[in-house]
Amino acid sequence: MDMIKVKIDGIEVEVPAGTTALEAARKANIDIPTLCYLKDINEIGACRMCLVEVEGARNLQASCVFPVADGMSIKTNTPKVRAARKLSLELILSNHDRKCLTCVRSQDCELQDLSKRLGVDDIRFDGERHDKPVDSFSPSIVRDPNKCILCRRCVSVCRNVQGIGVIGATERGFATMVEPVFNMSINDVPCINCGQCIIACPVGALREKDDIEKVWDALNNSNLHVVVQTAPAVRVALGEEFGMEMGTRVTGKMAAALRRLGFDRVFDTDFAADLTIMEEGHELLGRLQGGGKLPMITSCSPGWIKYCEHYYPEFLDNLSTCKSPHEMMGAIIKSYYAEKNGWDPANVFVVSIMPCTAKKFEAQRPELSAVGHPDVDVVLTTRELARMIKEAGMDLATLPDEEFDPALGDSTGAGVIFGATGGVMEAALRTVHEIVTGEPMENLEVHAVRGIEGVKEAEIQLGDLTLRAAIAHGTANAKALLEQVKSGEKEYHFIEIMGCPGGCVTGGGQPIVKAKTYMEMDPKVVRAKAIYDEDRDLPIRKSHENPSVIKLYDEYLGEPNSEKAHDLLHTHYTRRSVY
Amino acid sequence: MSAIDLENQEKFQQLQKVIDEWKDKEGPLMPVLHSAQEIFGCLSLDVQKYISKELDIPVSDIYGVATFYSQFTLKPKGKYRIGVCMGTACYVKGAQAILDELKKVLDLEVGETSDDGLFTLDATRCLGACGLAPIMMINDDVYGRLKPEDVKGIIDKYRDK
């Protein structure tokens, strides 16, 4: 690649041709402020926060979209630049709903950061405000139009990364809004609740539906047995909410925090992930041997499931009938575990801590109530759990490492890797290979299915059969893959699809990563590494060797895919329209 | 099939022809929306959904364009569309008084359509006939150098048509 030399504030740096002034400045250790910019996702130069002076150019340039040229000299900190940036910011603030005290994003807000950084000490302009109603009809996503700064980061991620586009800019001038069409609620459009818009939002205009109070109430109710479970991806991200480095594993501290919050049992969704592998692995074998519908597609990701229901209903029969792991866990807690402990399932309250906003919608599906009560009562995101821990006055970093509770807290490395794209596939292969061939895989780590490439393919020898597998993450990638399957261009036996890019580690319920951090690291990679490290450190790494899973089948379910297993652990899907 | 369904079906067939013509060209959305509005009289959700599917453009993009440009409308308009130019020249020459008089004569607010379906009142951006300011257009007819007292007579002419 051609390298060129540019001067940023007098500091000479060498960068590849085509580099933007914003990126070149970072090479010179200069952090130009940004607001609408989100690396690779939203690069539109709209907010004018990143203006710089280019020697010889008449006007200030938006550095996020301005490619540097050889010999160019750029100044990022002149009176003209500072005045222009501040004026733009003041105009954005002029009609912003400035209720920072009560905003969920207070102290985690890029607009607030900028106001402080650019020295805004007074509201000079008080613009006309719309005072639009907050849209809180969705069980997953809340949209507050009064906080929206029209940066379009959510629009880009929904339209381009996820290939959906249920929100967009409407009207013009002062009337401009980012919203669904025809004044509809986000709940009434074909939104999959993935929450990628939330983690793209620099302010508090998009957030998860907060269900913390329901959990406090349950914990305060002495008639209830309140049981909590945590998804694999939560343990590699929760620490970020407490100032720890991205990729820090806090499994033991999280278990301690949950116990101290007052949960009666602290279980691990990884156990249910192992259970999912038993059910899904046998379902796959059944379809392969019995001429069932292929390719079979995984069903763990509720964002993907809703996407399939809206946009690819012709693939509903391809979906595994397995419930997602936390729903399986809920069903097992309210049946097997409740029976064992002499609990009335009506008095059992299951809370799932998930990296996911789509699971909030999923938990409300009427079909997911195996014993006459919802399998899962409340889903909290990683962010909500962090807020509860903070409210309770705990600092995660100083807590001791504790274990999950026995039985449904036991898990394997196969369960953990569900949190990264390719993980369900890899976990399934570890088990299916052994069932088919009677031999363990030579290398348990299937590197072909790991990594963040949008669509991955692998061929695995299972005795006489060469299993053709594919993995997609993010629904735009899923769309591309499904189109190839539909046209007959590609044929597979088994497909893993996760609704969010990167899988659950970068789900819509995970800690919000600032735009600036994305320029330095990719959370998809850093958090996934922590997941794979966790797998490597566990003594058992195959689902079918989980002693508590074996015991559950012995004592209660019988065989995988038995009638009882079907009643409790499997589900069906609903054809949904697009608008 | 009822007469309404049949009429609707014919309109969608017409729209499909337009889409086929533009589908593979660059920037097909604007011309398709223009034709769709001519065919249906407005850009309803059903029409936008159809275009979305055929052009593989999200409905939110289409809705964004449809609400950005004032010549597009989401609801059916009256038989006579009155546009009062509120551009700078017309404004300075008293367009507001013309608009106020129209509101009074028609008993309508800006953006509304009369119950008999005859008139829709709009305030528009510059119509490009500043030399005749202040002006209004009723469908394709232009009325220039208007005075508030001209308004009633002009409207009555259309009522009696």
User: Residues A89-140: pLDDT tens digits?
Assistant: 999 999 999 999 999 999 999 999 999 999 999 999 998 888 899 999 999 9
Residue B74 lies in a domain: no
- A547: confidence class by pLDDT, cuts 50, 70, 90: very high
Same domain, residue pair B93 and B134: yes
Same domain, residue pair B88 and B148: yes
User: Residues A248-296: pLDDT tens digits?
Assistant: 999 999 999 999 999 999 999 999 999 999 999 999 999 999 999 999 9
Of the candidates A155, A172, A579, the beta carbon closest to that of B59 is on A579
Pair of tokens at residue A116: 């402080």
Domain with B43 in it: 3-68
Same domain, residue pair B137 and B94: yes
* Of the candidate ranges A23-27, A61-65, A159-163, B73-77, the one whose mean pLDDT is the lowest: B73-77
CA distance A165 to chain B (A): 6
| Three-state secondary structure call for residue A483 | helix
CB contact under 8 A, A168 and B68: no
- B6: confidence class by pLDDT, cuts 50, 70, 90: confident
- A243: confidence class by pLDDT, cuts 50, 70, 90: very high
CB contact under 8 A, A172 and B49: no
Q: Give the residue-averaged pLDDT of A470-478.
A: 98
B134 cis-preceded (ω within 30 degrees of 0): yes
CB contact under 8 A, B64 and A169: yes
Of A147, A209, A334, A359, the active-site residue reads A359
How far apart are the C-alpha atoms of A562 and A481, rounded to whole Å?
Answer: 32
Class of domain A213-569: alpha beta
| ipTM of the shown complex | 0.89
Residue A504 known to be catalytic = yes
Q: What is the CATH number of domain A3-92?
A: 3.10.20.740
**Tally of structural domains, chain B:** 2
- A141: confidence class by pLDDT, cuts 50, 70, 90: very high
Residue A300 known to be catalytic = yes
Chain B residues with at least one Cβ partner in A under 8 Å:
45, 48-49, 58-61, 63-64, 67-68, 74
Instruction: Evaluate if residue A145 carries a pLDDT over 90.
Output: yes
Mean pLDDT across chain A: 96
Which residue on chain A is closest to B46 by alpha carbon?
A579
CB contact under 8 A, B61 and A165: yes
Residue A367 known to be catalytic = yes
CA distances (Å), A313 to each of A76, A165, A297, A439, in order?
52, 18, 13, 37
- B1: confidence class by pLDDT, cuts 50, 70, 90: low
Same domain, residue pair B109 and B132: yes
User: Residues B35-50: pLDDT tens digits?
Assistant: 999 999 899 999 999 9
Of A504, A524, A542, A543, the active-site residue reads A504
DSSP A145-200: GGG-----HHHHIIIIISS----EEES-GGG-EEE-GGG--GGGSS-----HHHHH
Same domain, residue pair B47 and B92: no
Of A12, A14, A367, A555, the active-site residue reads A367
β-strand pairing of A61-62 with A51-54:
antiparallel
| Three-state secondary structure call for residue B80 | strand
Give φ, ψ of A17 to 5 degrees.
-55, 140
Residues in chain B closer than 8 A to A152 (CB atoms): none
From B46, B68, B90, give the residue that closes a domain.
Answer: B68
pLDDT score of B161: 81
Which residue on chain B is closest to A169 by alpha carbon?
B64
Q: What is the CATH number of domain A130-209?
A: 3.30.70.20
CB contact under 8 A, B49 and A579: yes
User: Residues A27-68: pLDDT tens digits?
Assistant: 999 999 999 999 999 999 999 999 999 999 999 999 999 999
Same domain, residue pair B93 and B151: yes
Helices marked H in A269-422 — which ranges? 269-290, 302-311, 325-332, 338-341, 358-363, 382-391, 413-416
Instruction: Evaluate if residue A162 carries a pLDDT over 90.
Output: yes
From B31, B48, B68, give the residue that closes a domain.
Answer: B68
Instruction: Evaluate if residue B71 carries a pLDDT over 90.
Output: no
pLDDT score of B70: 82
Residue A80 known to be catalytic = no
Q: Give the residue-averaged pLDDT of A394-416.
A: 95
Q: Give the residue-averaged pLDDT of A368-380.
A: 97
Instruction: Evaluate if residue A218 carries a pLDDT over 90.
Output: yes
How far apart are the C-alpha atoms of A353 and A222, rounded to whole Å?
Answer: 21
CA distance A199 to chain B (A): 20
Residues in chain B closer than 8 A to A181 (CB atoms): 45, 48, 59-60, 63
The CATH number of residue B132's host domain is 3.40.30.10
From B43, B68, B93, give the residue that closes a domain.
Answer: B68
Domain boundaries, chain A: 3-92, 130-209, 213-569
Q: With helix as H, strand as E and coil as C, how does A486-544 read?
A: HCCCCCCCEEEEECCCCCHHHCCCCCCCCHHHHCCCCHHHHHHHHHHHHHHHCCCCCHH
Cα-to-chain-centroid distance, residue A251: 18
Residue A359 known to be catalytic = yes
Which residue on chain A is closest to B70 by alpha carbon?
A171
Instruction: Output the CA torsion sign for A117, A119, A123, A127.
Output: negative
User: Residues B111-125: pLDDT tens digits?
Assistant: 899 999 999 999 998
CB contact under 8 A, A172 and B59: no
Residue B155 lies in a domain: yes
- A86: confidence class by pLDDT, cuts 50, 70, 90: very high
Percent of chain B clearing pLDDT 90 (strictly above): 88
pLDDT score of A130: 80
DSSP annotation of A366 reads T
Instruction: Evaluate if residue A498 carries a pLDDT over 90.
Output: yes
Percent of chain B clearing pLDDT 70 (strictly above): 99
pLDDT score of A90: 97
Residues in chain A closer than 8 A to B58 (CB atoms): 159, 164-166, 168
CB contact under 8 A, A170 and B59: no
Residue B73 lies in a domain: no
User: Residues A422-454: pLDDT tens digits?
Assistant: 999 999 999 999 999 999 998 999 999 999 999
